[in-house]
Amino acid sequence: MGEKKYDNRELSWLKFNERVLEESEDERSPLCERLSFVSIFQTNLDEFFMVRVGSLHDEMLLDDEKDNKTNMKASEQLEAIREKVKELYSRKDVSYQNLMNKLQEHDVHLIDFAKLDQKEGNYLQQYFEREILPLLSPITVSKKQPFPFIKNNEICAVAVLETKANKQRLGIVPCNNGMFKRLIPIPGNKGYYMLAEELILHFLPSVFQGYSITSKSLIRVTRNADIDADKVFDEELSYRDHMAEVIKMRKKLTPVRMEYTRDLDKKVLSKMKKFLNIDKDMIFKLHSPLDLSFVFEIQDFLRHKPELFFDKRVPQKSPSLDETKALLPQVLEKDKMLHYPYESIRPFLNLLHEAANDPEVVSIKMTLYRLAKHSKVVEYLVEAAENGKQVDVLVELKARFDEENNIEWSRQLEQAGCHVIYGLDGLKVHSKLCLITKKTKEGIKYITQIGTGNYNEKTARLYTDISIMTGNQLIGKEADTIFKKLSLGEVMEETEALMVAPKCLQDKIIDRISREIDIAKNGGQAYLGIKINSLTDKKIIDKLIEASKAGVKIDMVIRGINCLRSQIPGVTDNIRVISIVGRFLEHSRIYIFGQGEREEMFISSADFMTRNTLRRVEVAMPVFDKDIKGRIREIFNTLLSDNVKARVQKEDGSYVYIAHENPLIDAQDKLYDLAYEAVGSEV
């Protein structure tokens, strides 16, 4: 079988984004929601080029390193990516156009000048000259004027200019400087709009007066954003100031992709390739706008039509907590679980607020990775510090694309008197861990919260995550040790209850898989149930293959990257992999080892990726409470039963919708129904 049992990481990610694109094509979903998915597809692809393609580009230039699973060189991966991306672009263009055509039935039209009458054209010309032209910064490229720096993912109008002496120059105009509206309404025609970049492109003769324009297009350049912050660390700066410098560096890195929308002369494309120092195979022509973020503004125009959106769903109260009473005693008495977005994050926020004001609470310790813009978490940590509590916060400044946000939060926390730690050398702290310490008459008591997702009120309404709050003192003591280690720049060397990466997670997972293998070989019923976002860790993959060969039944719910091919006869035919891409982003991580009396269950912040298992601080928490175990098992089984939004992986690595059976089950809808039923609310 050789390499056929593995999938390449990057190509597997593109398969995931293809599933996102499929959601834009799914006629069972409301129109405006499908429009969201086509925009999400594009945003995902932008980040993929900035991070993964950027990294492969660097590897190719250095030593053309091979992938450790498929043995593909970096150059071969880039070629395969190019071919797949071309295919996906064509499909995205078709999906986008179909959706925009359907929008016309709801009186929303995105138009060009060919469809305007003279009166409308005159209005737009006056609008352009009054509102846009004074704010533009056009440049002509010549021997005296070098090619300008084009910002990452900035839309620019490009024109081939011809002088009266028949000499050619290149004209460039940045189109999205944030100083004018992008979606421009056409007066007298309610629901008719034009994009600002299209307006600028049309009126380029007014911008470059004295020139003839022989061809023109819109372009967008994507730059490599993959910087190893630790490798470029400047010891002259504080770590926070250093990360601010890293953000500036990222904006200036090498271009890895160019997109354009109109035909451009081959000579011009060749010049652009030379100016940008970009591979010709990474230049793509599109037949849809270069940035689809404007679709969310269009959605706002249609909010009065609820049939164009998913049915409204509101996070429910947790039936296990009485929010009219003090929460800390309830958690000390019995473990509590919250399941987002089906249940509200509010009880955890209230718990934090209560701790900030409880006279017995002496300290709050917390890891922060991504936060909401208006964060109640930070507000309550600040309140706790102002009330004299010891507040220790590890703020991960290397949370990709959230660095600026986290830098600002770290400043606010420090100013309030919190002790702020900035992570470890070479390791991101990705764990979701909060420890509240009470000093009571009976002695020290710990309340620990461990989750699968960030302390972010916004994403708690969009991502599926599990949060468990416990008064288990063993877990509390280990959490306290984790924080002590982090404050000293160290990691956990051994643990009893928790799994803690980088040294005490991968090996514990391998050991538990080995246990199931032994049980299967001795004729027992062996089982593994795994829900994660991504699977790339080769050591774990190979152990799962070994388990499958031994007869261990394995169910896996993997939303994104999956480098293991299931259903290969005699190799991985005991492994079933499904991916659910739907209304909510599947983000929770669940590990189940064994069944019945032997069952061990964990929730975790860690995917089965080498970066998580060996290069990050991650925490997996055992689930001891029988009621919570039952709930998580119900969640996992509900996901496995999905036959609406789930795709199953085939032997060749492709994903197909599960054949429709009756009754149809959309797992996310069903889990919301269960949340409503649990508190006696009407759906």
Determine how β-strand 109-110 pairs with β-strand 433-440.
Answer: unpaired
Q: What is the rounded average pLDDT of the residues 613-623?
A: 96
Residue 3's pLDDT band (cuts 50, 70, 90): low
Tens digit of each residue's pLDDT (9 = 90 or more) over 591-605: 999 999 999 999 999
Distance CA 461, CA 619 (A): 23
Which of 374, 430, 587, 660 is labelled catalytic?
A: 430
Q: In terms of C-beta density within 10 A (0-12 exposed, 13-18 middle, 19 or more buried), how is residue 33 classed?
A: middle
The mean per-residue pLDDT over the stretch 292-304 comes to: 95
pLDDT band, residue 166 (cuts 50/70/90): confident
Quote the CA–CA distance of 142 and 163 in Å, as a whole number.
Answer: 12
Query: Which contiguous run of DSSP H or E holds residue 22?
Result: helix 9-25
Residue 299 has pLDDT above 80, yes or no: yes
| Number of other residues whose CB lies within 10 A of the CB of residue 4 | 13
Nearest Cα to Cα of residue 425 among 482, 491, 506: 491
- Judge contact between 307 and 106, C-beta under 8 A: no
Helices (H) and strands (E) in the chain — how many of each? 20, 27
HEC-encoded secondary structure of 295-339: HHHHHHHCCCCHHHCCCCCCCECCCCCCCCCCHHHHHHHCCEEEE
Instruction: Name which of 255, 173, 183 is nearest 216 in CA terms.
Output: 173
- Cα R_g (the chain), whole angstroms: 27
What local confidence, expressed as pLDDT, does residue 401 receive? 61
662: exposed, middle or buried (Cβ count in 10 Å: 0-12, 13-18, 19+): exposed
287 as an active site residue: the answer is no
The Cα–Cα gap between 594 and 604 comes to 17
Each residue of 332-380: pLDDT tens digit? 999 999 999 999 999 999 999 999 999 999 999 999 888 888 899 999 9
Q: What is the mean pLDDT of the chain?
A: 92
Q: Tell me how crowded residue 73 is: count the other CB atoms within 10 A of its CB.
A: 16
- Quick check: pTM over 0.75? yes
Task: List, for residues 464-500, the tens digit of each pLDDT value.
Answer: 999 999 999 999 999 999 999 999 999 999 999 999 9
pLDDT on residue 395: 86
Taking Cα atoms as reference points, which of 291, 360, 325, 346 lies closest to residue 152? 291
pLDDT digits (tens, 9 = 90+) for 529-552: 999 999 999 999 999 999 999 999
Q: 506, 505, 448: which is closest to 478 by C-alpha? A: 448
Tokens of residue 398, six digits: 């290397």
Binning the chain into helix, strand and coil, the percentages to the nearest 5 are 40, 25, 35
**What percentage of residues in the chain have a pLDDT greater than 70?**
95
